[in-house]
Amino acid sequence: MRDALRKFMGSPPRILVAGFLAIIFIGAGLLMLPFAHVAEHQPKFLDALFTATSATCVTGLVVVDTGTYWTTAGQVIILLLIQIGGLGFMTMSTLFAIVLKRRISLRERLVLQEALNQTSIEGIVRLVRKVVVYALAIETAGSLLFAIRFAYDMPVGEAIFKGVFHGVSFFNNAGFDIMGNYRSLVDYVGDPLVNIVTMLLIILGGLGFVVLADLVEMRKLRRRLSLHSKVVLSMSGILIVAGAVVIFIFEYTNQATMAHLGFGEKLLASFTQSVSPRTAGVNTVDLAGLRQATQFFIVILMFIGASPGSTGGGIKTTTFTALIGAVVAMIRGKDDVVLFRYRLAQERVYKALTVTLFAFVLVTIATMILATTEDHPFLMILFEVTSAFGTVGLTMGLTTQLTIAGKIIIIVMMFIGRLGPLTLTYALGPKQERKLYREAEGKIIIG
């Protein structure tokens, strides 16, 4: 039995799946304890499991209000789950190993490679050190700025705790907030400091640690950015600006969202809501009040998500860029996908297509199931499912009204979204053996 278990756990994807499951169930168990929730509330195990999954998978969807349902101890548990889930449990365990001066084994390096979505194990431990340093530095700066701003509206102790909670939550693209009554940052829709700090934390967390390291070393070593960093930065910028323009135009005269705001506040709200679907789950306007065109556009942004090796989900910006490049190459009659004068290997394009198709099928199936179990508008259900898969955390109000079946489906989608559909497929599927031959070429008509 032990040998069979060891053989099953031999691959890095399976270790990742098992590790995340263990953290989720431990977190759910802790949230069930009396000190974690307010006295008048007794969470059902499914609700505790939903919250633990959402925190570990850095999503932000909640079935109970984080600010009023859980005690300070419960909120600290959620915060720890967010930190572990955002950086990855293997990153955290490697950090402890480094502190204890323990040697990192080859198997651990392979798991880290899978967890951080790297192409090789070369320099993987050095990258882990950078991940931890960058994350703590950015979270500390964001937490401090939040605490200073919140101190004007609440006692200093509460301001510090809320500053730390939101600094960690937003950098890890979790979207959890403890403002109470599901308000998120609606009360700060016109506040420049809160909005700008929130956007910077989300963007930095969503770029990926490889890109952050590349940016830092570019200045230190005066070297050029890698192709990966160029693609991530350019596509992220395009999506943010394009998203803000679309939201600004569609919601400019919407009485339910932005019509009552000044021109500067509308710009601020548009950019915040454009950045948030990058898997952060923060909102400064009522999402249920958005026009349907805006809601559907946000669904597209959530599906694309953040970048590889980051705290965010979705199919990733690089995947989307590779697909766009393939379409452009096909239209122009070219054989190769070229980005910034570099040719992409055909394997990369196939992987981008596979990830996108897998994600589309998963979202479609989950949406169809929820459309059967939940009595709500279709767009509301699609929004919820895409938010769960992209580990975004934005909701139009459906999360708190989910049936038991609906909660289970969303839990599964959050888990798949955090690990990635391919990682889960590799973990659960049989080991593939390399063929020693190729089949004869055939032809079909396309288009």
Asked if residue 227 has pLDDT above 80, the reply is yes
What's the pLDDT score for residue 4? 47
What's the pLDDT score for residue 148? 93
For 268, the enclosing helix (H) or strand (E) is helix 263-275
What's the pLDDT score for residue 285? 87
CA-wise closest residue to 206 among 244, 243, 235, 178: 235
Distance between CA 343 and CA 334 in Å, rounded?
Answer: 11
Task: Kindly give, in sequence order, each residue whose CB lies less than 8 Å from that of residue 400, ignoring residues fewer than 6 positions away.
Answer: 62, 63, 64, 182
pLDDT digits (tens, 9 = 90+) for 273-316: 999 987 788 888 888 889 999 999 999 999 998 888 777 788 88
Mean pLDDT, the chain, whole residue set: 83
pLDDT digits (tens, 9 = 90+) for 176-206: 888 877 777 888 888 889 999 999 999 988 8
What's the pLDDT score for residue 17? 78
Task: For residue 8, name the pLDDT band (cuts at 50, 70, 90).
Answer: very low
Task: For residue 58, name the pLDDT band (cuts at 50, 70, 90).
Answer: confident
Given 3-state DSSP classes, what are the helix, strand and coil percentages for the chain, each rounded to the nearest 5?
65, 0, 35
pLDDT digits (tens, 9 = 90+) for 241-266: 999 999 999 999 998 888 888 888 89
Asked if residue 155 has pLDDT above 60, the reply is yes
For 342, the enclosing helix (H) or strand (E) is strand 342-343
Q: How much is the average pLDDT of 331-341? A: 86
- Decide: residue 143, CB within 10 A, 0-12 exposed, 13-18 middle, 19+ buried: buried
What's the pLDDT score for residue 5? 44
Task: For residue 220, name the pLDDT band (cuts at 50, 70, 90).
Answer: low
CA-wise closest residue to 170 among 190, 150, 196, 132: 196
What's the pLDDT score for residue 119? 60
Q: How much is the average pLDDT of 323-341? A: 88
- Decide: residue 224, CB within 10 A, 0-12 exposed, 13-18 middle, 19+ buried: exposed
Which amino acid, residue 380?
M
8-18 in b/e form (b: 16+ CB < 10 A) is: eeebbbbbbbe
Q: How much is the average pLDDT of 422-430? A: 59
What's the pLDDT score for residue 179? 85
Task: For residue 240, name the pLDDT band (cuts at 50, 70, 90).
Answer: very high
Q: How much is the average pLDDT of 28-38? A: 90
pLDDT digits (tens, 9 = 90+) for 111-141: 666 555 666 666 666 777 777 888 889 999 9
What's the pLDDT score for residue 18? 79
Task: For residue 172, name the pLDDT band (cuts at 50, 70, 90).
Answer: confident
Q: How much is the average pLDDT of 158-180? A: 89
Stronger pLDDT, 21 or 15, i.e. the higher one: 21
pLDDT digits (tens, 9 = 90+) for 353-398: 988 999 999 999 999 999 999 999 999 999 999 999 988 888 898 9
Identify the three-state secondary structure at position 70. strand
